[in-house]
Structure formats: C-alpha cells, structure tokens
Amino acid sequence: MIRHVALLDFLVAAGEYLREHHKEIFTDGKLRHHFNEKLFNGFDFDSTMLRIGSMNMLLHGVENPNIRYKDSLAEEHAGDEEQYTLVLANPPFAGSLDYENTAKDLQRVVKTKKTELLFLALFLRLLKPGGRGAVIVPEGVLFGSSNAHKTLRKILVEEQKLDAVISLPGGVFKPYAGVSTAILVFTKTNSGGADHVWFYDVDADGWSLDDKRTPLLSDEKLGPVPSATLAAEEHAKNNLPDVLARWRSLQAAKRNGELTRKRSEQSFRVPKADIAAQGYDLSLNRYKEVVYEEVAHRPPVETLKSLSQLEAEIQQGMKELETMLR
C-alpha cells in the first residue's frame, strides 16, 4: 500500500494510524521495510515545507519517506501515473493557473484553469486502477456550472466509482479559511461502478465553528447522565464517529438500515440515475428531503380574545397603580 498525500500533515496522521491499528507491520521485516522506505510519498514546491515534512516524518519514526520537490500541476506525470493505491489530500482552494503553465496530461483530463479541479484530475492520474482517494474540496466543486465542473463530476460518477460525498459544516478550516467544504471519496476503476452514492451531512466536528475552534467535548462528567442522553449530546457536538461507524457498516453491507435510510435523515444513498438526471450535481441539498413539522396554531378569534383579556388586565393594573400614587 502506498500513500500519496498533497498536504504533508496527512503523512504523519497516516503513519500514526498504522502504528495504532496495524502493529503487525513492525514485526515483519518486509512490511517494516515497506513502511520505512516506500509507503509514504509527498510532493511540494516549497523547499521549507519539504524540510519540515521530512523532519516531521523522521521524528515520528519513518526512516526514509519519499518527500520530494515537485510542482504537481505544472509538471508532466509520466513517471508517477498510476503509481499509488491511496490518495489523501487537502489541496489548495480557489486558485487559478494559465493553460500554458499547466501540465498537458491534466488538461487532457479536464480543460480548466481552476486548481481545485486540476488537483482532482491529478489524483485520478496518480491512482492505480482499484486505488482509492479521499479529497477535501471546496463546496463549489459539487455544483459548479462550468463545463469543467460538470465534466469532472461526470467522470467521477460514470467512468470511476464515486463512493461518498461528505458535506462539512462551514468554519471547519477557520481561522485560515471560511469556505464551505466536502470530502469526496472515490475509487479509480476506469469502468464505472457507482450504482449509488452515499451522502452524509456533517453538522458538527467536535470543535466550535468560530475563529477560536475550541473543543466542545470534555472528559469531565458533572454528575450522572443517562447513557442515551449522553450519546445524543455527544453526537450533536461531534458527528465524525457516526460518519465512520455508518461508513464501515455500509462497506460491510450489513442490513442495519443504512442501505434504506430516507433522504430526510443525516445520511442516505442516492441512485446514480438520479444524480445523472440532475446534471451530476453533487450538492447534498439537491437530494436531501426537508421534513416540515405541522404546527397547530390557535384560531385568530381566540388570539384576539386573549389579547383583549391581557389589555383589560393591563388597564386594571394601571388604575390600581394610579390609585396608589394619589
């Protein structure tokens, strides 16, 4: 397994995850060599970031990560095409390049100047067939109306296998950026395969959504709290454990209701045919059903009667106060 990550911090997190959940790597000589020499790959064109990233990996126990200088959008990718099995990335948002400064192999995937679309095209070039990607994108990628936006979304749905669209709340990248974002999870197949796409509407990620980004959950318990109530409160403050649990159950194809959840719920699946009918729009609100609760209002005559009674009580109180002041 090889991981290519656009943002070097992902490399450290991936390494720590493997240390915690796959300890067998470090008891097998072949796997340990792969972990230290071939598993981690990262590109950047900032020399300072390359030095920091390399040192960070060494401090976290990776002996020889492949972190090298490369302008990923400007240089051709003949040597890296279909070399990786997993891409985790948080590429730069809302940038723009001139056509002449963009790698021609990326322009053949999608004709655009927008960096967020070019990076998606790049990841499709880098992945092996069967390889998977999880990429954070600005929300505009999901519903942008340009030909490039529509073309790339159609490629993900029809030619590859778009597995999930996880909508994140606005503010998750504050104070650095306030743009709304989503995570696209996809598998490179070159032959389609997306019968359904799973959507999840994340309301909270465990941190406040203002510039301070303070944690919302604490280990301290202020007295006994019923477990169901506590679980509901924790979910309201952090949806991410639920995202992971539901994703795993969906992948395991367990008949626990995840496959048949209604579109009014926090997560649901949408058939590919419905997405195609909407012009490959991937915004969650395009498919989510809003359920309005019926509110019983008092008849207007009763409301007017209550107002008259209140007015009479006010007038009576005014008369009593006037009597007291004489």
Cβ atoms of 74 and 101 closer than 8 Å: yes
Contacts of 90 (CB under 8 A, 6+ apart): 6, 7, 10, 135, 136
pLDDT at 7: 46
The helix-helix angle for 227-237 and 240-251 (nearest 10°) equals 100
The residue with tokens 């997405």 is: 275
Q: What is the pLDDT of residues 266-282, one digit of tens each?
A: 999 999 999 999 999 99
pLDDT at 134: 95
pLDDT at 187: 97
pLDDT at 302: 86
The helix-helix angle for 147-154 and 115-126 (nearest 10°) equals 30
d(CA 180, CA 137): 9
Half-sphere exposure in the Cβ direction for 230 (13 Å, CA): 11
Interior/surface letters 111-138, b for 16+ CB within 10 angstroms, e for the rest: ebebbbbbbbbbbbbbbeeebbbbbbbb
Mean pLDDT, consecutive 10-residue segments, the chain of 326 residues?
Answer: 50 90 92 92 85 89 88 80 90 77 87 91 94 94 95 96 95 86 96 94 92 79 58 88 91 71 93 96 93 81 89 90 84
pLDDT at 2: 39
Q: Which of 158, 174, 229, 170 is nearest to 201 (CA)?
A: 170
Give the max Cα distance, the chain.
Answer: 99
SS3 content of the chain, % helix, strand, coil (to 5): 45, 20, 40
CATH fold of 3-286: Rossmann fold (3.40.50)
d(CA 79, CA 70): 12
Q: Is 5 helix (H, G, I), strand (E, B) or coil?
A: strand
- Domains of the chain, residue spans: 3-286, 296-326
pLDDT at 103: 86
pLDDT at 253: 60
Which class for 36: exposed (0-12), middle (13-18), buried (19 or more C-beta within 10 A)?
middle
pLDDT at 11: 86
